[in-house]
């Protein structure tokens, strides 16, 4: 799996656990809804600033989101 797809999974997990639609998340972040959609589908790679902005709205930290990506990498490597 690509890093982009792993981040997309993590983003979607936090968005849904916050009960936010892509539309609502994009409004609260000031990012395009289409960009959120591309990120969730693993078609774009987030910059550090994007991760920090998303984390704030999603009531978590950027390091937490990155840690979740690293867990998926480590599971992926075991397969």
**Cα–Cα distance between 7 and 15 in angstroms, integer?**
12
Query: x/- site string to a second copy, residues 26 to 45, per CB under 8 A?
Result: -------------------x
46 binds a second copy (CB under 8 A): yes
What is the spatial distance between Cα 24 and Cα 13, in angstroms, rounded to a whole number?
Answer: 15
Is residue 8 within 8 A of residue 42, CB to CB? The reply is: yes
Q: Which of 29, 36, 57, 62 binds a second copy (CB under 8 A)?
A: 62
Question: Using the rule CB under 8 A, which residue among 24, 52, 60, 72 binds a second copy?
Answer: 52
């Amino acid at each position: 799996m690509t890093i982009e797809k792993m981040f997309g999974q993590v983003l979607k997990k936090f968005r849904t656990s916050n009960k936010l639609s892509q539309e609502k998340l994009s409004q609260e972040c000031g990012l395009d809804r289409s960009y959120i959609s591309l990120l969730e589908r693993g078609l774009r790679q987030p910059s550090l600033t994007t991760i920090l902005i998303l984390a704030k709205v999603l009531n978590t930290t950027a390091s937490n989101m990155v840690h979740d990506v690293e867990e998926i990498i480590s599971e992926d490597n075991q397969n």
